[in-house]
Structures are given as C-alpha cells and as structure tokens.
Structure 1
Amino acid sequence: MNKEKFEKGLEIRRSVLGAEYVDQSIQNATDFNRPMQELVTEYCWGEIWAREGLPKKTRSMLNLAMLTALNRPHELKLHVRGAVNNGLSKDDIQEVFLQAAIYCGVPAAIDSFRSAKEVFDEMDKE
C-alpha cells in the first residue's frame, strides 16, 4: 500500500462523504473487508479523486449518473450526500437524474430520485 496515496485518499474521502461515515467504515473493517477499504481509499480516492483533471463537483455528477446506470442505491445515497458536500444543489442532482433517465432508463432514474429524496429528508432533519 502506498501510504501517501492512502492518506491523501482518506482526506478526500472524508471531505466528500463525511469524516464520521469514513472513520466508522475504517474502524469497522474486519480482516475480510479491510483490504477493500484500503483499496478504495488508496486508489479510488487517493489516485482518481485526487487528480486535477476534473473538479469534485463534476466527479460527483458523473458518479450519480454511473450509480444510476448500475442501479446501486446504497452507494447512490452515499454519493448524493457527497454531491451536496461538493457543491451540487438539489436542482443539479435532479438534472443528472433526468439525463440518466434518457440514457440509463426511466426505472433506474426513478429509483435514484427515490433514494435521493430519502437522503434529502435525512439532511433536512440534521
């Protein structure tokens, strides 16, 4: 493991997804899933998210569209919150899901709208 990339990835991951969530994921890692936590932190966050080619806001938009296409509601909810942390408005997120509806399918986009609403409702209570 590249310690420098891991630490940079941890910093970015915390800033996007929230320190509490990330720290809990790392602390709750077991011998079985710890390698996955390390892989995600080092490569996803420390290698790709750390690149300067795209701003975090754009990366969040891409993630929302791809997670809609892949129909991954758990990860989508996590990244809706991250998208808000990266400066996307509800209107921005709505536009991403409408665009995804055309290219990924209406049922996938409906599920994404539903998941995002749950996140927005939770955030309104905080």
Structure 2
Amino acid sequence: MNKELFEKGLEIRRSVLGAEYVDGSIQNADDFNMPMQELVTQYCWGEVWGRPGLDRKTRSIINLAMITALNRPHELKLHVRGAINNGLTKDEIKEVFLQTAIYCGVPAAIDSFRTAKEVFAAMEKE
C-alpha cells in the first residue's frame, strides 16, 4: 500500500462522503474486507479523485450518472450527499437524473430521484 496516496485519499474521501461514514467504514473493516477499504481509499480517492484534471463537482456529476446507470442505490445515497458537499444544488442533481433518464432508462432515473429524496429528507433533519 502507498501510504501517501492512502492518506491523500482518506482526506478527500472524508471531505466528500463525511468523516463519520468513512471512519466507520475503516474502523468496522476486518481482515476480510480491509484490503477493499485500502484499495478504495488509495486508488479511487487518492489516485483518481486526487487528480487535477476535473474538479470535485464535475466528478460528482459523473458519479451520479454512472451510479444511476449501474443501479447502485446504496452508493447513490453516499454520492448524493457527496455531491451536495462538493457544491451541487438539488436542481443540478435533478438535471443529472433527467439526463440519465434519456440515456440510462426511465426506471433507473426514477429510482435515483427516489433515493435522492430520501437523502435530502435525512439531511434536512440533521
């Protein structure tokens, strides 16, 4: 493991997804899934999210669209919250989901709208 990339990834991951969620994921990891936590933190967040080519807001837009296409509601919840943390508005998220309805299918977009509403409601209660 590259300790420098891991630490960089940990900082970015905490900033986007929230320290409580990220720290919990790492603290709850065991021998079986810790290698995945290390891989995600170092490679996804340190190596790719840490690149200078796109800002975090743009990366969030891309992630929302791809996660909608893949129909991964658990990950979508995390990344809707992350998109808000990265400066997207609810209206911009809505536009991403409308765009995905055309290219990924209406059912996938409807699920993403439903999931995002749950996240927005939870965030309003915080």
How big is the alpha-carbon RMSD for the aligned residues of Structure 1 and Structure 2? 0.2
TM-score normalised to the size of structure 2?
Answer: 1.00
Q: Is the counterpart of residue 58 in structure 1 residue 58 in structure 2?
A: yes
CA distance in 2, matches of 1:88, 1:72: 20
The offset of 1:18, in angstroms, is: 0.3
Please name the residue that 2:93 is paired with: 93
Please name the residue that 2:14 is paired with: 14
Post-superposition CA distance 1:27-59 (Å, at most 9, x none): 000110000000000000000000000000000
The runs of 5 or more residues in structure 1 that have no matched partner are none
Please name the residue that 1:77 is paired with: 77
Count of aligned positions: 126
Query: Secondary structure in 1 aligned to 2:87?
Result: coil
After the TM superposition, which segments of 4 or more aligned residues of structure 1 sit over 4 Å from their partners? Answer: none
The runs of 5 or more residues in structure 2 that have no matched partner are none
The offset of 1:72, in angstroms, is: 0.2
Post-superposition CA distance 1:85-116 (Å, at most 9, x none): 00000000000000000000000000000000
TM-score normalised to the size of structure 1?
Answer: 1.00
Q: Identity of paired residues, percent?
A: 83
